[in-house]
Amino acid sequence: MRESQRKKLIMAGLGKAQKRSNRRKYKCIHPNCKLDSIKSHSQQKKGQLSSIAEDSSVYAMRKNMYQMFNAGMNDLLSKQTIGEASRYKGYCNAHDTSIFSPIENGNLDIDNPEHNFLLLLRAVSYEYASKRDMYDRQKDILSQVEHLFSYEGRKNYEASGYGIKVFLEKDAPYYLSLLFDIYESKNWSKIQYNSFEIEKNIGVSSTTCFSPLREDHPSWMAENFEKPQPFISFSVVPDESKTIVAFVWFAEFADLCGEYSRIDINQEDISNVINTYIFCESEDVCVRPSLWEKIPIPDKNMIYRHMGESDSVSSANKVPLVLDW
Ligand SMILES: [Zn+2]
């Protein structure tokens, strides 16, 4: 088969799989809720995203496989309306509103333990919902274009699907039940956090979870394979005049999270440190268009490399500074 013919067939298959994925319905994440989830935002559109938007748009991670393949996988961030960016199918309309209203519309208070808990719950919910969506989409894609993959390509693709399956079947149910126990009991001592406020809008917004072990994660997991994977949530919430940065983790991971409890708003390299976490660890970053467009192309490519390699070691000053800080 000619390469151009093969690409055409792959594009058609990806287009079909993407359409199916857009139509797919999921149940609300709240335990015992039987309603379908709506498309909600892990980063609130009004307030958080609109505070960094220009012409109602931001740069955000591409989620659409069809567009990604067409763009040659080079640009991981693309200009999107704030209606599209950071969307996930997580909760029904009632739960999405009732659970997260305390931290929306400018009410987020970094000293309030319940608010920090809600940032953790939202980050885990986003991670879970995007992974279940991704897992089903990968199966669709495989069924459409399997015969066009090389043996190696197929093996790599299936291996990434296996990691997601383990997360969905083992890690996520464990964490979500722990989270809803805390939500019901209001026992905030089961979480810990380090949250602070920056006195300006830094032009970037993000909600994500990552391993506190970073590059040491695989070797830790090899020795602790029966345990759920440790993680920490990281939220960057800008508004007109300030930005809230919150690291939140389960108290049971305290031993692994020392590095994050020591981050201090007054340390000299703080803007580089936060910039590094945002661009190396976040899978859901949104950036103000004028801020992203002025970054030189070699710097953008370097940032994309860091985004792509989840276990790359990156010292804070090696990632080009994007934040308006
Ligand atoms: Zn619900």
pLDDT tens string 108-148: 999 999 999 999 999 999 999 999 998 998 888 888 887 77
How many A from CA of 135 to the centre of ligand 1? 22
Query: Which two three-digit tokens encode residue 38?
Result: 């709506």
pLDDT at 37: 95
Taking the centre of ligand 1 as the mean of its atom positions, its distance from the CA of residue 99, in whole angstroms, is 10
pTM: 0.92
Contacts of 71 (CB under 8 A, 6+ apart): 62, 78
Q: What is the pLDDT of residue 174?
A: 95
Distance 90 CA to ligand 1 centre (A): 9
Instruction: Write down the pLDDT at residue 225.
Output: 84
Measured in Å, residue 128 CA sits from the centre of ligand 1 at 15
Judge whether residue 163 has pLDDT over 60.
yes
pLDDT above 70: percentage of residues in the chain: 94
Q: What is residue 235's DSSP assignment?
A: E
Q: How far is the CA of 118 from the centre of ligand 1 (A)?
A: 16
Q: For the chain, report the end-to-end CA distance as a whole number of angstroms.
A: 52
Contact 37, 27 (CB under 8 A): yes
- The pLDDT value given to residue 292: 97
DSSP-assigned beta bridge partners for residue 81? 57
Tell me, what's the pLDDT at 296?
Answer: 95
| 27-61 pLDDT, tens digit each | 999 998 999 999 888 888 888 999 999 999 999 98
Sign of the CA dihedral with 86 first, then 92, 97, and 100 last: negative
CA–chain centroid gap for 50, Å, is 18
In whole angstroms, give the CA distance from residue 127 to residue 137. 15
Can you give the pLDDT at residue 313? 53
**What's the farthest any 2 CA atoms get from each other in the chain?**
61
pLDDT at 15: 86
Among the listed ranges 131-145, 256-270, 303-317, which one has the minimum average pLDDT value? Answer: 303-317
Residue from 172, 144, 142 nearest 156 by CA: 142
What pLDDT is stored for residue 312 in this prediction?
53
Mean pLDDT calculated for residue range 218-241:
92
pLDDT at 149: 76
The pLDDT value given to residue 310: 54
Residue 237's CB is within 10 A of a number of other CB atoms, namely 23
pLDDT at site 73: 54
Ranking 8-22, 84-98, 270-284 by mean pLDDT, the lowest is 8-22
Distance of CA 32 from the midpoint of ligand 1 (Å)? 8
Residues with CB under 5 A from ligand 1 (ion): 28, 30, 33, 35, 92, 95
Q: Which residues, in sequence order, are bridge partners of residue 246?
A: 195, 235
- Say whether pLDDT at 13 is over 90: no
Per-residue confidence (pLDDT) for residue 161, from 0 to 100: 81
Rounded Cα distance between 218 and 211, Å, is: 10
Q: Where do the domains of the chain lie?
A: 193-318
What's the chain's average pLDDT? 89
pLDDT of residue 299: 93
